Amino acid sequence: MTAPQAEQTQHVEQTFIAIIGMAGRFPGAPDVDAFWEGLAAGTEFITRSPEEGTGRVSAYGVVPDADLFDAGFFGFSPREALMLDPQQRIFLECAWEALENAGCDPGAYPGVIGVYGGCGDTDHLAMLRERRDLFPGVTDWQFRLACGMDFLTSRVAYKLDLNGPAVTVQTACSTSLVAVHQAAQALLAGECDVALAGGATIRVPHPMEGQGDDDVLAADGRCRPFDADADGTVSGDGAGIVVLKRLEDALADGDTVHAVIRGSAVNNDGAGKVGFTAPSVDGQAAAVRAAHLLAEVSPDTIGYVEAHGTATPVGDPIEVRALSKAFGLGTDEKGFCLLGSVKSNIGHTDAAAGVIGLIKVVLSLRHELVPGTAHFRRANPEIDLDTGPFVVRAEATPWPKGPTPRRAGVNSLGIGGTNAHVVVEEWPDPALPGPSGPSGGPQLLVLSARTGGALAQMATRLGEHLKRGGTPLSDVAWTLQTGRRGFAHRAFAVCADGDDAVGALTGAEPHRLVTGRAAARTAGVAFLFPGQGGQHLGMARDLYEREPVFREAVDTCAELAAPELGLDLREVLYPGAGAESWAEARLATMTVCQPALFAIQHGLALLWRARGVTPEVVLGHSLGAYAAASTAGVLAPADALTLVLARGRILDGLPSGSMLAVPLGEAALLPALDGGLSIAAINGPAQCVVTGPAADVDRLRDRLAAEGVDARPLRISAAAHSPLVEPALAGYAELVGRITLRPPAIRWISDRTGAPVSAREACDPASWAAHLRHTVRFSDALRTLLTGGEHALLELGPGRTLSGLARQHPEYRADRPVAQSLPHAADAGGGAAELLHATGLLWQAGVPVDWSALHHGRGPRRAALPAYPFQRRRFRLDGPDPARDAAPAVEPTGSEGSEGFGGFERPELDADYVQAETRTEKIIAAAFREALGLASLGVHDNFFDLGGDSLIATRLVAGIRAELDVELGVRAFFRAPTVAALASLVEESLTGEPGEPGEPPVGDSPLEALDEQERP
């Protein structure tokens, strides 16, 4: 970074506006990256066809697949999508893509987001009226609602849930740059914190002939800005949106700043010109000069101007004179500033022209290259380039960084005289100074989509993007975690670096990408704390080294335990070189092992809570009950550690004993017990643990082996939960009595009784002594947990013992998420990757996560990543175009009984297709299909998932009510939004009995009770 650039980053001007995201659709280019590739290569994206007998060439800048739209993503029914003006459809998709490019999820962003934009005037409304046969029951007002320019930005605000100003701008060709100016002013005034700004002009089908005044259009279909042979412009379609934020906020939030707007100005020519449509030198010059003054820049520091440049014989000379006049007020230097116009490549995109020019400038700054002006050979003789500040070049010109910031102007002029000018400045590379989180260590990449197909495509796109390198994986993870909306279909991978991520995302290692679905409602979490047995040297080492919350908890426990133990638990858990044998011997004792395990479990509980994962229920196994009680608020952590230390001393002081895991049920095992043996734990219907004197346990093991029963000794050197502990119970109860005990603040399931712990039991010292002695009935506790809610299960401790017991329990269902916080001793790793994997499983299940905690509260930068892969279908009123490849688009079908229009194919849904069977179901299904414009629909398909809304529902309910002669209101429909559910309600109302087949009735009341307030 140069010294001036370093100084620039230190001084953040309060009036600077950061451009933090961009998206667009352009002639010949479906996105911003493809647009730039074409510009840099000098490509002209104009479609031409000779006009027979006229000598003219019809030309148009055609946006590819402008009739494709992902209706389901935005909650539109196919029929609604067909009605919606294509430019509004594309503007909506661009708005979503721009916010994703900025790493801004409107649902999670704490500030206010506004939207400013405008669109062109099309014939879509007239086409709708010509094809009324496709829209039975639809009124002309609804047609106008689907096409009106006034609704462009408010529709975006509604569909994206934006609460800031939604302002539709109409100033003809300068519309989108005026929208940028207004958005910047709104940010500076504090009306919003983020603003979308742009415009769209899209015509489907695109016009090729008779599109305008021949005096304005180039006869040969080529747009030649500033050239001597220029004889007119070329029309085109396009859309563009930029995302703006106050610069100081963008830097504080770690946004990628593509460039900054230093200043902008808007004015009108007024009456000082020869006609309404004529341009004015003075008016244009005044807007440019005002922008310079507001930006506080001298014109001689501006290296490029993206002109309006329409290539009309009158317009270009006037514009260059106006620019030269404005520049001349600040400098007399000649030939220092490049002049160009993107219209030479794509044509005049009308309402979208200004913002597309702005996007071109931002890309030129990023790539240090100014694309050439296509078709330029020699200057228009009416344009004086020799004595003015400007130079026009047909070839691309390098624009390298220098000792001072590079600057550009963007000029946009509207018929009627509304002029807009914006001064843009580069900003230092976002990889340089600014907030950045830890880049080392594994990262959790999370993906989500509305459909499974989109999710798979999203993973592939991201993998291909990461192949190109250049983006820190921590930035990628942070952007995915905080800058993307969470949908039902979810996938995640824990990756060590970029190459590892590519393998996980592109299918090279398919097992690495874990896919699943989020629960319909936010999932709760149950914390499971294991007992002794999984301990090992180095457990959770990564967490101790990387996670301050965890480290502080372990440090506190170690310091509290040191006076009694005479050693530092941390030296046992994480011994230095050469001290492993000493540490292993200490960890083998109950006195040291039990407080060490408690410290790890307590630290994990605090770490998970810091990550936003708070348990609704806790359950511990034997020793784990103390961490569970502490988490539930029954014991203060220091008091819990006091009891654990005492427990370890008691168990170490017992006569020689051991424990044996036996794969038999309680009833089958009891007859085999003799001597001092007893059942320490019942972990499952056929899983028990026997405890007692070591010699008795060994004899039982030999006897079982002879009978073919494979019993396994546990790594516990004491006979816990056996009669051997009885002499110590009175003293232990007395110690508990000196501890402050509180009722559980969180539901705590007892591993001794299998039932939730009551306030009385939690505060009774005798129950704590009984817990030390009596059988652990963990299988009963699991039954209570698994039948008491749809909680995700999270094990907090080394290994996966409790996770395995839960999965083997008869009450366990395969769709219940189970996660482990730490790896097993046999698995390499210190816990960081396993904890991220568990975080991914919980997020996938729908558990909210505080992502900033994964980055220690200081997030990395947001990165520009591939946008959502919309699952588009073709929507066009003039029918299929046989010259085009229709895949993957879907046109309206011509199914029987629909007067030539059977509707669109059923989109991808989670519900399986089930055909209507009863008369009631068939009538309701037919009403659904007609209202939504679908050719087929299953009885379990949700009306609202298919794009239905309250307006459509009102019409639909009226039709069903008349057809079935039943009292039916909209309120009931909202309660039962599938064919099967609504049919069941109708049948219950008509007969008093639930309808069959289908779903059970929704609610306990007949329709009359549900609809009391909805009846006309």
Q: What Rg, from alpha-carbon coordinates, does the chain have?
A: 35
CB 225 within 8 A of CB 373: yes
CB 593 within 8 A of CB 535: yes
> How far is residue 898's CA from residue 493's CA, in Å, rounded to a whole number?
47
Using DSSP's 3-state secondary structure scheme, residue 928 falls into helix
Q: Cα–Cα distance between 758 and 36 in angstroms, integer?
A: 67
Q: Which of 716, 699, 609 is nearest to 658 (CA)?
A: 716
- The answer to whether 351 and 176 are in contact (CB under 8 A) is yes
Q: Rounded to the nearest 5°, which phi and psi values hold at 743?
A: -60, 150
List, in sequence order, every residue forming a beta bridge with 264; answer none if it has no partner.
422
DSSP readout, 817-858?
Answer: -EEESS--TTS-S-SHHHHHHHHHHHHHHT----HHHHTTT-
CA distance 331 to 329: 6
CA gap 525, 793 in Å, rounded: 6
Amino acid code (one letter) for 388: G
- Token readout for 97 is 């893509």
Name the DSSP class of 710. -
Residues contacting 798, CB < 8 A, separation 6+: 530, 534, 535, 536, 539, 540, 597, 600, 822, 823, 824, 825
Query: What residue spans of 119-246 are helical by DSSP H?
Result: 124-130, 140-147, 152-160, 175-188
Distance of CA 22 to the CA centre of its chain: 17
Backbone angles phi, psi at 212, to 5 degrees: 175, -165
Q: Which of 124, 292, 308, 375 is catalytic?
A: 308
* Beta strands at 489-495 and 443-449: parallel, antiparallel or unpaired: antiparallel
Residue 837 falls in the annotated catalytic set? no
Q: Round to whole Å and give the CA distance between 730 and 106.
A: 60
| Cis previous bond, 371, omega within 30 | no
Assign 741 to helix, strand or coil.
coil
* CA–centroid distance for 377 within its chain: 48
In the residue annotation, 173 being an active-site residue is answered as yes
Q: Return the biggest CA–CA distance within the chain.
A: 114
Amino acid in the structure at residue 789 = G
Catalytic: 791? no
Given the residues 124, 181, 292, 348, select the one marked as catalytic. 348
Phi/psi-derived region of residue 825, left when phi > 0, alpha when psi is between -120 and 50, beta in every other case: alpha
User: What gap in Å lies between CA 107 and CA 335, rounded to an integer?
Assistant: 49
Helix (H) or strand (E) holding 54: none
Hey, is 563 helix, strand or coil? helix
Name the catalytic one among 94, 104, 147, 173: 173
Per the annotation, the verdict on 348 as an active-site residue is yes
List active site positions.
173, 308, 348, 622
